[in-house]
Structure 1
């Protein structure tokens, strides 16, 4: 059964977390030590219902001015940090769209401020592999490949477009998302020339370590992560947070 847990971030803003049940997930990449078709066991945890929005991150910068636009050191963000904000604030019309132009360091700081953390790659992929209600894996791949094949919009839509059967929104079809261990993957291949998916950060060809050579959607995602550095920011790169089940339920 799906469980919603209220998490009050600030007085003016409340977001939800979805309880993710324990389960197993077959890694996309082999680690060299596991048996063929080996699966990873995951304990239950909580994940943000939506990607973090501009409104939520703006509230964070008010309470943590060291993360306002123009404030962090270049060790933690590149020159593109919060590039689409004006005068230190997003446009009012964009408040419910996902925050992007966010570095790993700033995303992790946001999550820590909420008593949360960034999801591991395994956690993110596990939840991302869960299809919408009444659908299967092909439905997920269709959403992802459609997104890959379309020009990226200048202004992202509001959160709440894609929903899996647990009630987690917008893991696919809207933005890329940071994971805690984004740089634990090595994917080799040809460089893409599509500026809409930020080709300078991306290589999406085949990997000799892949468990499923036909899963092109995952090649793209793992390849994108493999090109990131912690201080990078990008127009279509955002994040969401998770919380450990024992920590979350112990605080109720």
Structure 2
């Protein structure tokens, strides 16, 4: 991890919040990793959709945040000048279709499949699964669901046939790295991610400016209502949205706030062993408990964790 992407040196190691994406800790829920159903193949035209990359020249920008909503325990600050080199970054998060093409080509089995389970937001599950699925004590709105995987986002009986253009989820940091190795790309550093997500704006709270809903217009997919009990879906979605939903930022990137958390290349802290930083927030973020859909916000999870609100996008060097 480069020093440019690190939180302030000398302070206590930040502790990632458990609410954003639960860690795969404790026991396994069973299963031996066998794929429960055949992994689907996307229709031909969708294999090449949403693969556009935006070439950025790099340069210096002010990274981090110190405003009233900054989370001191997350290591957002202090605001510091950071320089990144030239690179090209996905305009969209990696879609289900792109990931399916990778699985078709390589036979890759995700870590969620190997473990036999992944975390699903409880409200998305039928009552039977809610009752039998174990829940983390600190975040009981998450359920560890047997058979939940990238192609079965809510477990057995669910599918992705109507979500090919949504971001892939239930992927670990290792799954994302394997995809990048196959494609000849890599995960962005936190500095690269934030530089790109800001879209050329200096210290704006969001990729489009400082107001969350300018003119009453929703610009991102986050939680509205009372979390975790009632989502009014005023932005149009309860779960993931297609990767090209809402207007892009000034650099042409879509959904760098909300929708799904995105894995970065970096460790959460230089001394971390298995915690990897994530950026962008997700459809479950709400101002009452997880105001981390601001551009400067960050969180982390263990590299082997997966859930229904974590995905990724990729970069390539251009210099």
Establish whether TM, by shorter chain, passes 0.5: yes
- Greater fraction strand: 2
Aligned-partner Cα distance in 2 for 1:163–1:169: 4
Q: CA deviation at 1:67?
A: 2.2
Q: CA deviation at 1:84?
A: 0.9
- Greater fraction helix: 1
In the TM superposition, what are the counterparts of 1:68-147 in structure 2 within 5 Å? 71-72=113-114, 80-82=148-150, 83-84=152-153, 90-130=159-199, 139-141=208-210, 142=212, 147=221
2:101 alignment partner in structure 1: 59
CA contact (8 A) 2:149 2:155 kept: no
2:48 alignment partner in structure 1: 13
Q: CA deviation at 1:101?
A: 1.4
Q: How many residues align?
A: 203
- Report the 3-state secondary structure (helix = DSSP H, G, I; strand = E; otherwise coil) of the residue aligned with 1:66: coil
Aligned-partner Cα distance in 1 for 2:293–2:95: 28
Structure 1 unmatched ranges of 5 or more: 1-9, 31-35, 187-194, 206-214, 247-252
Q: CA deviation at 1:169?
A: 1.4
TM-score (norm 1): 0.65
2:240 alignment partner in structure 1: 156
Structure 2 unmatched ranges of 5 or more: 1-43, 67-77, 120-143, 225-230, 273-282
Q: CA deviation at 1:123?
A: 0.5
CA contact (8 A) 1:162 1:172 kept: no
Aligned-partner Cα distance in 2 for 1:129–1:25: 9
Aligned-partner Cα distance in 2 for 1:106–1:44: 25
- Summarize deviations over 1:166-211 as a string: whole Å, max 9, x none: 211111132211111142289xxxxxxxx9349xxxx869xxxxxx
Tell me which of 212, 217, 224 is aligned to 2:294.
217
Aligned-partner Cα distance in 1 for 2:106–2:205: 40
CA contact (8 A) 1:81 1:103 kept: no
- Report the 3-state secondary structure (helix = DSSP H, G, I; strand = E; otherwise coil) of the residue aligned with 1:173: coil
TM-score (norm 2): 0.53
Q: 1:148 to 1:238 in 2, by over 3 A?
A: same
- Report the 3-state secondary structure (helix = DSSP H, G, I; strand = E; otherwise coil) of the residue aligned with 1:116: coil
CA contact (8 A) 2:64 2:80 kept: no
